[in-house]
Amino acid sequence: MAEWTHIRSDRLGEECLRTVHPSGLTIYVWKKPGYTSSYAVFATRYGSIDTAFQRAGDQEPIVVPEGIAHYLEHKLFENEDCDAFAQYAKTGASANAYTSFDRTAYLFSCTGKLRENLEILLGFVQSPYFTQETVQKEQGIIGQEIRMCEDSPDRRALFNLLRGLYRNHPVRVDIAGTVESIAQITPELLYGCYETFYNLHNMVLAVAGDVDPDMVLETADKMLKPAPPFDLRRAPLEEPLEAVTARTEAVMPVAAPLFYLGYKVPMDTQKGLRCSTAEELISAAVLAEVLGGRASTLYARLMEQGLINPSFDVDYFEGPGYAAWIIGGESKDPDAVCRELKEEIRRLARDRIPEEDFLAARNAVYGRLVAQLNSVENCGDLLASGHFYDRNPFELIDAAASLDIQSVYVRLERDFREEASCLSIVRPQAADRAG
């Protein structure tokens, strides 16, 4: 039986276990004694941005239709014998799945029958079954989902922003793809992507709760077979430092204008697939709190002027080969909000951040991270996401406890370049404005 490596935080008194199963799968267990619920996530490092890749032996990169990772996620729940949701219904588990830009994950939470639910999870994800008939049926279902997403003002504003920021990177494309792109998907393409990315060496299983680690390994021994070596090249894309356009607007039936101001953060093209270190992520989180958090000077001023409402948010968005600041919400005057934002960024860089404001922001970030550990779902997701980018589950909390203000100034001086910014606005239709 595989041996466990202990990953411990003396600061928090928390511990999780890690092992690499003989099949090639990395497995984590986060024991939460006394918890009544358990959570498991089985994920692969395969997301919507993986539309071009080169395997060992390929002479040229393989290019696949946009949206195929999301499409594959949908199809895996149905195999030749049964539907995975029907199996979960018998055990009482709550199951779901999602596809993001950089990963696909299958998950469940339960209050009992953990072994049976793990067997269902490991079973259906390893049992692809695609036919021309089932693929065509799913094209109609996902096509409807895509059209519904196109009717979402928030989603329209976001992807208009990403297309305004990124010229080449596939992060500019909606995760679900387009009606036209998914029409190109065939069973052969699905099997090809499955065999490429659903390799156990490219996957992770994380289980959190009052869990017996030996039971998890016994279930893995029963359900997993050794995977072939994983050899895949994701070539970095050349992405200009400048944004594609400074502004993009759309009109939709909304009650008030919706906006996103984005700043494309420069990436080292030689390390285009790396993601941020723990310190870089925490410096971004602290700066977001200083700039636009609920206790910030800017937030109070904009609220007092009636320019924003509680939908206002400042977020740092990053993944393999892309990173951006995304700031937005509803506003009667998005341009006025953006002028105030840009002036606040210049002021903070010029006059520096008061020490008490920095410490309050750092403490707020630290407190949120610690509070998340009360949830088995958050613990499991933290293990899975950290695994793909070589971060242990306690690195972010340690970074938040020790972050120096200088790291925040580096971001202020580097990240907010006017030529790398785009403003995306969704305005009400003329009749709505007149009414």
Given pLDDT bands bounded at 50, 70 and 90, which one contains residue 366? very high
The answer to whether the predicted template modeling score (pTM) of the entire model surpasses 0.75 is yes
- Mean pLDDT across 257-268: 91
Beta strands in 146-273 (DSSP E): 203-209, 232-233, 247-252, 258-264
* 82 Ramachandran zone, left/alpha/beta (phi>0; psi -120 to 50): beta
φ, ψ of residue 35 to 5 degrees: the values are: -75, 140
Q: What angle do CA 36, 41, 46 make, to 5 degrees?
A: 165
Whole-number pLDDT of residue 56:
81
Does residue 431 register a pLDDT over 60? no
CB proximity list for 33: less than 8 A, separation 6 or greater: 210
Does residue 237 register a pLDDT over 80? no
Domains along the chain with CATH numbers:
5-233 (3.30.830.10), 247-434 (3.30.830.10)
- Mean pLDDT across 176-198: 94
290-300 pLDDT tens trace: 999 999 999 99
Whole-number pLDDT of residue 170:
94
Question: CB of 66 within 8 A of CB of 51?
Answer: yes
Distance CA 38, CA 115 (A): 11
Does residue 434 register a pLDDT over 70? no
Structure letter (DSSP) for residue 198: -
φ, ψ of residue 289 to 5 degrees: the values are: -65, -45
31-75 pLDDT tens trace: 999 999 999 999 999 999 999 998 888 888 899 999 999 999 999
Q: Lowest mean pLDDT: which of 84-98, 144-158, 184-198? A: 144-158
Catalytic annotation, residues: 73
Whole-number pLDDT of residue 429:
87
Distances (CA, A) of 151 to 146, 167, 221, 427: 9, 24, 46, 14
Question: CB of 192 within 8 A of CB of 51?
Answer: no
Q: What angle do CA 320, 322, 325 make, to 5 degrees?
A: 135
Tokens of 27: 């497995």
Would you call 6 exposed, middle or buried from its count of C-beta atoms within 10 A (0-12, 13-18, 19+)?
exposed
Distance CA 175, CA 162 (A): 12
Does residue 365 register a pLDDT over 80? yes
DSSP string for residues in 304-316:
HTTS--TT-EEEE
Share of the chain above pLDDT 90, in %: 83
